[in-house]
Structure 1
Amino acid sequence: MSEEAQVIARHRVHVVPVVLALANPPWQRDVWLDPSKFENIDHVFHTLFDDFCDADEPERYLGVSLRTDEEVALMRALGVALNAAAVEASHDTDAEYLQTAAWPEVVASAGRLAQVMVSNDLNLLSCGRHE
């Protein structure tokens, strides 16, 4: 595996699961609202805005955690939706985020991005390429 492919894999192993979690409301309620679980909305924001991507400016992560221009555009849309939910969630609690008027768009945006990211990864694997 090339060095570039290793960088992408190390980032996507964090980004893809978070995007999938954002696309799955039952999972959000089961995990994020359970205080004994590690993952919560704070983890999501750190992953997508600080640690492994920048959902406000995802172009910088093309070839790092995002494979295509389509993924970049969809990540930007997800970032906009997450920021809108953050504005509404004045107390910054997980339960409050899930109740915001913006949350359905977060879920829909994440669903579109998850489909593309998983499809891109599977296409790459099915072609026998590891880049």
Structure 2
Amino acid sequence: MDDDRLITARVRTELVPVILALANPPWQRDVWLDPSTLENLDHVFHVLYDDFCEADHPERYLGIGLRTEEEVALMRQLGMALDAVAAEVPDETDAEYLRAPGWPQVVSAAGRLAQVMVGHDLRELLDLHEARVERDTAP
């Protein structure tokens, strides 16, 4: 695996799980609202805005953590949905975010992005497998 693909894979091991969590309301209630767990919405915001992406302006992450222009556009939509909810929530607790009127738009945007990202990752995995098979069976 070349260096660029390895970097993308490593970044996506952080991005994809938080996108999946944003797309899964039962997970959010069971995990983020449980004070005994370490994962919460603050972690999600750090991954999406500070550590591995800039959800408001994800263009510069094309080729790093985001594979396609479609992923960039969907990440931007997710960032806009999260920003809209942040404006609705006065105390910024996880419970308030989950109750915010705009939260269903966050879940929906995350679901669309998750489906595309996972599909691209599975395609990448299949391509790697096929390349290995070709290499191993070449004379």
Q: Which residues in structure 2 correspond to 1:1-131 (within 5 Å)?
A: 1-128=1-128
For residues 83-122 of structure 1, the C-alpha deviation after alignment (integer angstroms, 9 at most, x for no partner) is 0111111101000000001100000000000000000000
Cα distance in 2, alignment partners of residues 124 and 3 from structure 1: 15
Normalised TM-score (structure 1)? 0.96
Structure of greater relative contact order (alpha carbons < 8 Å, 6+ residues apart): 1
* Partner SS, residue 42 of structure 1: helix
Q: Which runs of 5+ in 1 are unaligned?
A: none
Residue 128 of structure 1 deviates from its aligned partner by 2.4
* Partner SS, residue 30 of structure 2: helix
The corresponding residue for 2:134 is none
Question: Greater CA deviation, 107-116 or 118-127?
Answer: 118-127
- Greater CA radius of gyration, 1 or 2? 2
For residues 67-92 of structure 1, the C-alpha deviation after alignment (integer angstroms, 9 at most, x for no partner) is 00000000000000000111111101
Normalised TM-score (structure 2)? 0.91
For residues 32-88 of structure 1, the C-alpha deviation after alignment (integer angstroms, 9 at most, x for no partner) is 000111111110111001100000110010011000000000000000000011111
Q: Which runs of 5+ in 2 are unaligned?
A: 132-139
* Partner SS, residue 60 of structure 1: helix
Residue 127 of structure 1 deviates from its aligned partner by 2.0
Cα distance in 2, alignment partners of residues 36 and 6 from structure 1: 33
Cα distance in 1, alignment partners of residues 2 and 24 from structure 2: 33
Cα distance in 2, alignment partners of residues 40 and 83 from structure 1: 17
Q: How many residues are treated as equivalent by the alignment?
A: 130
Quote the sequence identity (%): 64
